[in-house]
Amino acid sequence: MKLRRKSAEIEIGNIRIGGSNPWALIAGPCAIESEEMAKQTASVLAEVTDKLNIPFVFKGSYDKANRLSIESKRGIGLDNGLEILANIREEIKIPVLTDIHESIQVNEVARYVDCLQIPAFLCRQTDLVVAAARTGKPINIKKGQFAAPHDMIHIVQKARIHGSQKIMLTERGTTFGYRDLMVDMRNIPIMAEFGYPVILDISHSQQNPGASGGKTGGSRDFIPHMALCGLALEIDAIYMEVHPDPDNAISDRKTQWPLSEIEAFLSFLKQKA
């Protein structure tokens, strides 16, 4: 029994997501903190996913612009971040993805990466979605914590009427009162009806926004449970944040998966899928 409609196939670099392809992994650190850290994470993820035959896209943010506190660190910055992402793509031979926050940066960012990501908080920013669509690059639109799954079709249409058919949608949880999120698994088959790949973000969905003294809290303990739920619903890709030392990361310390445990985790998912 098929649980949802088969999606279109999207090419990101040398991998394909959606259609009849097996589930893929989009993973990397929340923020690029240094070239050494980013390359270490990308190298290990590339090696493990190649060993397990899992299609892989590296993600890393050069700027964490959506911050609650002015004291929160934001990352390595646009110029350095794009150079690091370009080097990872060339040296490790893997496709790369990053967030965009301002439409004025979109064309420059598109020169260095294989996929543009619209952050959840910005999914209704028309100019940003339109600018991303016009680059011709694949776009991953994260569903806002405030958005109903049915309403995401209107954001899809913004991208579509400006020339993009390379669209993916990511479920990452919905605001549930103050400082908590919940994942309504009905969102996955609902958004799949639009005909594009659906991704489940198993890291950000475990956040407790603002719950750690102006910073995001959460629990990585439930990440495996969330992954299994997504695979049961035939998601097209798993999205997760992975860090060599999560407890000392500059952001999302509570919901990044340890790099040293990624092979065991992905092997477990392969056995269960």
Find tokens 């050494």 and name the residue: 36
Asked if residue 57 lies in contact with residue 26, where contact means CB atoms within 8 angstroms, the answer is yes
SS3 (DSSP) at 178: coil
DSSP H stretches of helix in 111-222: 126-134, 152-160, 187-192
Domain map of the chain by residue range? 9-272
For position 141, what pLDDT does the model report?
Answer: 98
Report yes or no: 216 and 181 within 8 Å, Cβ to Cβ.
no
pTM: 0.94
Alpha carbon distance 120, 239 (integer Å)? 13
CATH placement of domain 9-272: 3.20.20.70
Q: Is residue 204 over pLDDT 90? A: no
User: Over 60: is that where the pLDDT of 58 sits?
Assistant: yes
Q: Using one digit for the tens of pLDDT, what is the confidence trace for 11-37?
A: 999 999 999 999 999 999 999 999 999
User: What pLDDT score was predicted for residue 64?
Assistant: 65
* pLDDT, tens digit, 9 for 90 and up, residues 118-158: 999 999 999 999 999 999 999 999 999 999 999 999 999 99
